[in-house]
Structure 1
Amino acid sequence: MIIVTGGAGFIGSAFVWKLNQEGIDDIVIVDRLGTKNKWKNLVNRQFAEFIHKDDFLPLICDDRVPFEVTAVIHMGACSSTTERNADYLWQNNYAYTRTLATWAIKHGLRFIYASSAATYGDGSQGFSDDHGKIPSLKPINMYGYSKQAFDLWALKNSLEGKIAGIKFFNVFGPNEYHKEDMTSVIFKAFHQIKETGKVRLFKSYKPEFSDGGQLRDFVYVKDCINTVWWLLQHPDINGIFNLGTGKARSWNDLINAVFAALGQKPDIEYIEMPEELRNQYQYFTEAKMDKL
């Protein structure tokens, strides 16, 4: 069995789709569905079992997993960069991952997990995934820190040769509708254009960036899952890796492309950014892709 945590989520459900495309359905999805429409990501997916994330933890802690496992693909996390409950983020993103990794390593299983470009903070330390530079990174929100904490734990315990971590940059694609405020700007732009004919973007509060000139590294979800699949097929390739395109694009450039795809003239309104977001906003991200 291949365990996919977060298998009903955005990247996780896409990876379950990829496994199905490869003829694999011996899959156990570990997730929680909640009260939103995340369950729809499971429709037409083939898998053997679904286990709630809270029910799965005791199984691995007590070594009572009732099926043979070959790999753990850990895509599950709270991905909200605005989540304020630090205890929740710590338990869900760091402690849960640590427990899962410890169990996987103990049993000699392939372990691939999702880190994040949020670990790079404001980018002042660069965007290199060189292991020696990771300890100097300074995340600017608790979500990023919860991801950074596990990366540091893995390095401190010399696990970089046993597991594979992926620092996802700005991922977009199908099945992200359940993420609400955390959906990609492409998803938001598409629906705003359909509903109002225009797109609202946050103004810039840094003089070196014009409104809409903020730059991010946008990567398509299917490119991401193809990389995860490749890592699954190459268990000798381990470490912590960036995953983006290696080329940043501005919000304006991206939104103009969405308007063009819909055959409409661009209409962008720049709005004030909430004050609580201004100190934790990334104005520039660009993956260094030399290693992967």
Structure 2
Amino acid sequence: MKIVTGGAGFIGSNIVKKLNERGIDDIIVIDDLTDGRKCRNLQGLDFFDYIDYEVFAGEMADGSFDYGTIDVIFHEGACSDTMNYDGRYMMKNNYEGSKNILHYCMERKIPFLYASSASTYGSGKNGFREEPACEEALNPYAYSKLQFDRYVRRMLPFSQGQVAGFRYFNVFGPQENHKDRMASLIFQKYRELREKGKITLFEGTAGYENGGQIRDFIYVNDVVNVLFYFWEHPELSGIYNCGTGKGHTFNEFVSGIISYCGKGSVEYVPFPEILKGKYQSYTTADTTKLMAAGYDKGFTPLEEAVKEYCGILAKNGGYYA
């Protein structure tokens, strides 16, 4: 049996889809469907059972979870709202809950592949290498992810099974509709262009020109490829960047959207005061460690990925089915 926490979410549902494409359906989906829009992400997916996250988390906490033989846990479930400043909630959900699943896996030598975040690098002023000297948390979400990574580092010497965390950079692709303001800029700007005939981007800030802020955009299919590579190589443990290693400006990626739609223009708006000091103007993954682990499947070129995703947005509103 395979477990995917956050299985009705963005990356989680893409993992389930790719498992299905491999003929695998002995999957337990763990999620919180308070936001019922996520049900749409499960449309057309095959899995053995669904368990509410509160039930699962409670059983993980008290040690009562028993669902037979578990082959792997893909832990994608988390509160990912970087604007949520309830630190107590973040730590309970993202940190304590993750610790319980980690210990469950360590005790049973179950591969544990979990979602971390590039937000653990803060402003990025010290670089984007998987080491403490580069790490900085600018909000409770980032802190919850960073603190769990630090805990994993302490536990790794005691683990006899695989434990691998992945610091996702700017992931985009199908099934992210429910994320609202946390959805990728590609999702947001495609819809803005369709609705308003133009795309708005921030004016320059922190030394960057208008629309010149840089992100390492990675297609969700490539993220799943990275995860499956590690699942296929259980000897690999540690914390790894999950990005392409190549940065693109906002101007570059929106040009791909405009090109697909065949119309549109860009308007630059003032940078919000509320984001000053809390915003990453530059992210580009250092993929040295990922490449050293042998990952060789490459990454979808941004232009190609944007075109494919825009096609799915145009056909199904951003869903696979």
TM-score of Structure 1 vs Structure 2, range by shorter chain: over 0.9
Distance 2:141 2:97 in 1: 14
Gaps of 5+ in 1: none
Distance 1:100 1:204 in 2: 42
Q: 1:135 to 1:58 in 2, by over 3 A?
A: farther
1:158 is displaced (CA, Å) by: 3.0
CA RMSD of aligned residues (A): 1.4
1:291 is displaced (CA, Å) by: 1.3
1:280 aligns with 2:278: yes
Contact 2:127 2:134 in 1 (8 A): no
SS in 2 for 1:288: coil
Contact 1:160 1:238 in 2 (8 A): no
The amino acid of 2:112's aligned partner reads F
Distance 2:58 2:82 in 1: 28
Which residue is 1:127 aligned to? Answer: 128
Contact 1:36 1:178 in 2 (8 A): no
SS in 1 for 2:156: coil
Which residue is 1:214 aligned to? Answer: 213
| Residue from 285, 288, 291 that aligns with 1:290 | 288
Q: How does 1:1-292 map to 2 (within 5 A)?
A: 1-60=1-60, 61-129=62-130, 133-134=131-132, 136-159=134-157, 162-206=162-206, 208-265=207-264, 267-292=265-290
Contact 1:160 1:240 in 2 (8 A): no
Normalising by structure 1, report the TM-score: 0.95
Q: 1:159 to 1:254 in 2, by over 3 A?
A: farther
Gaps of 5+ in 2: 291-321
1:134 is displaced (CA, Å) by: 2.6
Q: 1:31 to 1:159 in 2, by over 3 A?
A: farther
SS in 1 for 2:178: helix
Aligned residue pair count: 287
1:143 is displaced (CA, Å) by: 1.0
Give the fraction of aligned pairs with identical amino acids, expressed as a percent: 38
Which residue is 2:293 aligned to? Answer: none
| 1:213-236 deviation per Cα after TM superposition (whole angstroms, max 9, x unaligned) | 000000000010111111111111
1:290 is displaced (CA, Å) by: 1.2
| 1:55-74 deviation per Cα after TM superposition (whole angstroms, max 9, x unaligned) | 01222232332332111110
Contact 1:170 1:184 in 2 (8 A): yes
The amino acid of 1:238's aligned partner reads S
The amino acid of 1:91's aligned partner reads K
Q: Higher mean Cα deviation, 243-252 or 56-65? A: 56-65
Which residue is 2:297 aligned to? Answer: none
1:135 is displaced (CA, Å) by: 5.7
